[in-house]
Amino acid sequence: MSEDDPYLWLEDISGEAALAWVAERNAETADVLAADAGFAPLKARVREVLDASDRIPYTARRGAYLYNFWRDAEHVRGVWRRTTLEQYRKDAPEWEVLLDVDALAAAEGEKWVWDGARVRRPAYDRALVRLSRDGGDAVVVREFDLATREFVEDGFEVPEAKTRIGWIDADTVLVGTDTGPGSLTDSGYPRTVRRWRRGTPIEESELVYEAADTDVSAWGYRDDTPGFERDFVGRSLDFFRSETYLLEPDGTTVRIDVPDDAVVHAHRRHLLVTLKSEWLGQPTGSLLAFDFDAFLAGDRTPEVLFAPDARTALAGHSWTRHHLILETMRDVSTHLEVLTPGRDGTGWTRTPLVGVPALSAVSVVDTDPDVSDEYFLDVSGFLQPSSLHRGHIGGDTEVLKQAPDRFDTAGLTVEQYFATSADGTRVPYFVIGPDHVAAGPGPTLLYGYGGFEVSLTPYYGAVTGRAWLEGGGTYVIANIRGGGEYGPDWHQAALRAERPRAFEDFAAVAKDLVARGITTPDRLGASGGSNGGLLMGAMLTRHPELFGAIVAQVPLLDMTRFHKLLAGASWIAEYGDPDDPADLAHLRELSPYHRIEADRTYPPVLLMTSTRDDRVHPGHARKTAARLRELGHPVLFHENTGGGHAGAGDNEQAAHNSALVHTFLRRHLT
């Protein structure tokens, strides 16, 4: 935006004046919400859920061990640990603690937040540990010895950056990071990929691939499947288009020649291609299989593993040693199948995955594709706590873990309805709450996202259950366009200048809730975060009459400057380019920050962000709050000093944020 923006100074993330303004707003919000009589008990109830010791400790298999990262009241920042399957089957497994992040943070005086680890295969003896300062996307990377449970002296170590790194062998990694001028893209991600050998300066490591400044990022990885070891590099041209190359031993590259909006996955002799546009006579949303070597030799004869229809979309796939587990969605309800290639790699057969309960939300948690046909499934529902199932394809299944009920579901029901959007599109949504026919209109919270092909599928929300449903509220999830619930076409229908289709869908759901007698406008709240925060800004400025309160978390709100702030340039493919006059017109029309007017009546709004969010700039929320305040509209603002894009770096912060949100909603909707 030009210099006529009076609140540009609030984009200075750590500027003295900006932080003083943040402190004043936080104090105002605390005086209203944290001082509410219901706040402290609500926060305690939420914290109890987050810290509960009987939560399911989800794991990832790495060789003989199951690895888990765990936070609770005793381990605020968490511990990285592992156990055996034999131990894991017990109610109280014996865990080997590998890294205590609380102890590390105390020893080093840093607010470390765990961001995962890459364990080296097949030895499983070393890991590349990723640690974030207070929850940001940028991380430091350190090599860790799993036997001694210590960081490796003079091992691989990368300073804070948005690093991509992975093992090649015991003494070599592929890495993309900030190595000085020219090493990052305009979006702030790695522009180069280097082959870095132990004991050498990273700046002098071999350059194996580089992307353009205007690309989102470059990347590289080793496929270390025994017998099929291959290196791949590539570049993300934008958020949805990429190019993937096989990196030959002599340093040359061979492009995997698929459309740049397709997603490729190589596994053993197979190449899987997920389509986001038509190709080879196959429709958008299909999953195709090829023989990898034959494809590189020019064979373009696919086996169609999945083809969508108007109600069914691909949700994902996971390899086991000999099979492919296919996840699909039909009207946002998940289904699993087992696909098996013939001995020559062709002639795939399919069967249902046995042992999956009916009417449940099911997702693949983990598989071990190098070794066995073992799989782990999470099974849950809106009112059904998660259970963790383990099985072998073609064999028996067992329930390894069962989470207890976290909230009272007595009298609650789950329904799926369809609203009709402005252009006639049927938009599905889920309603979880008391029987509205018997109870009549009541306080209702409508949640949405609508972007980046993200699907909102059924899940057991213990925090929402305690904080909202138990008190008589109804919770609604809207599966609007921009998401991936019906495949790529559902997403692409709300891209760039078509973004208002997502807004119209959400408004249609809000109206349908009123028409069905589930709620009334003054008792209907809306919430969303990140891209969903843009959606909330749109509801505030386009449909204020539909809502009694709105919550926007880590929101994107200034659509004329998003590309200049932190990672914003990477989202141009989703929204458009503000520097392109052809796009600027629709972006300014989309921009909630620019649509705020003095003479309109807006519902109360709560804006929440994080100083340490290095993805969506806190200036979006800050400036919008300032603009609303200037014009006398009801707004509260809370900025957590840490937590990154998640808004919270530990359970204490998460519970505090949740209590703020639900206290705000109850004050205005009940």
The whole-angstrom separation of Cα 155 and Cα 174 is: 15
pLDDT (average), residues 176-201: 96
Residue 532 clears pLDDT 70, i.e. is over it: yes
CB 526 within 8 A of CB 471: no
The whole-angstrom separation of Cα 89 and Cα 92 is: 8
Q: Please name every residue paired with 66 in a beta bridge, in sequence order, or none if there are none.
A: 61, 83
What would the pLDDT profile of 48-61 be if each residue is shown by its tens digit?
999 999 999 999 99
Q: Please name every residue paired with 65 in a beta bridge, in sequence order, or none if there are none.
A: 62
Q: What is the pTM of this model?
A: 0.93
**pLDDT tier, 354 (very low <50, low <70, confident <90, very high otherwise):** confident
Per mean pLDDT, which range of 355-364, 425-434, 540-549, 615-624 is the poorest? 355-364
**pLDDT tier, 489 (very low <50, low <70, confident <90, very high otherwise):** very high
CB 58 within 8 A of CB 388: yes
Exposed, middle or buried, 468 (CB in 10 Å: 0-12/13-18/19+)? buried
The whole-angstrom separation of Cα 60 and Cα 118 is: 11
Please name the residues in contact with 203: beta carbons below 8 A apart, sequence gap of 6 or more. Answer: 179, 180
The DSSP code for 208 is: E
The DSSP code for 28 is: H
Query: Pick from 563, 571, 564, 562: which is nearest to 537 by CA?
Result: 562
**pLDDT tier, 356 (very low <50, low <70, confident <90, very high otherwise):** confident
pLDDT (average), residues 135-154: 96
pLDDT mean across residues, the chain: 96
pLDDT (average), residues 331-353: 92
**pLDDT tier, 297 (very low <50, low <70, confident <90, very high otherwise):** very high
Q: Please name every residue paired with 384 in a beta bridge, in sequence order, or none if there are none.
A: 381
Q: Which of 421, 530, 570, 610 is catalytic?
A: 530
Neighbours of 383 (CB within 10 A): 17
Q: Please name every residue paired with 338 in a beta bridge, in sequence order, or none if there are none.
A: 325, 351
Query: Pick from 526, 523, 380: which is nearest to 462 by CA?
Result: 380
Per mean pLDDT, which range of 224-233, 413-422, 436-445, 627-636 is the poorest? 436-445
Neighbours of 642 (CB within 10 A): 21
Please name the residues in contact with 358: beta carbons below 8 A apart, sequence gap of 6 or more. Answer: none
Token digits for 647? 């808004």
For residue 530, indicate whether it is catalytic. yes
* Residue bearing the bigger pLDDT, 354 or 375: 375
Query: Pick from 556, 560, 553, 551: which is nearest to 524 by CA?
Result: 551
What would the pLDDT profile of 238-277 be if each residue is shown by its tens digit?
999 999 999 999 999 999 999 999 999 999 999 999 999 9
386 Rama class: left (phi>0) / alpha (psi -120 to 50) / beta: beta
Amino acid 2: pLDDT: 42
Per mean pLDDT, which range of 90-94, 185-189, 502-506, 641-645 is the poorest? 641-645
Task: Say how many residues make up the chain.
Answer: 670
Residue 1 clears pLDDT 60, i.e. is over it: no
The whole-angstrom separation of Cα 290 and Cα 544 is: 51
**pLDDT tier, 4 (very low <50, low <70, confident <90, very high otherwise):** confident
What would the pLDDT profile of 76-85 be if each residue is shown by its tens digit?
999 999 999 9
Residue 3 clears pLDDT 70, i.e. is over it: no
The DSSP code for 603 is: -
Half-sphere exposure of 38 (CA within 13 A, CB side): 15
Exposed, middle or buried, 561 (CB in 10 Å: 0-12/13-18/19+)? buried
The whole-angstrom separation of Cα 93 and Cα 303 is: 44
pLDDT (average), residues 31-50: 97
pLDDT (average), residues 95-104: 98
Q: What is the 3-state secondary structure (H, E, C) of 471-515?
A: CCCEEEEECCECECCCCHHHHHCCCHHHCHHHHHHHHHHHHHHHH
pLDDT (average), residues 349-372: 87
Q: Which helix (H) or strand (E) holds 627?
A: helix 619-630
What would the pLDDT profile of 560-581 be if each residue is shown by its tens digit?
999 999 999 999 999 999 999 9
Query: Pick from 496, 485, 148: which is nearest to 315 by CA?
Result: 485
Residue 436 clears pLDDT 90, i.e. is over it: no
Residue 224 clears pLDDT 60, i.e. is over it: yes
Neighbours of 155 (CB within 10 A): 15
The DSSP code for 518 is: S
Amino acid 359: pLDDT: 61
Q: Which of 594, 645, 656, 662 is catalytic?
A: 645
Distances (CA, A) of 516 to 13, 383, 425, 431, 520: 45, 22, 18, 11, 10
Token digits for 180? 């000085």
Q: Torsion angle, CA of 544/546/547/552, rounded to 10 degrees?
A: -60
**pLDDT tier, 360 (very low <50, low <70, confident <90, very high otherwise):** confident
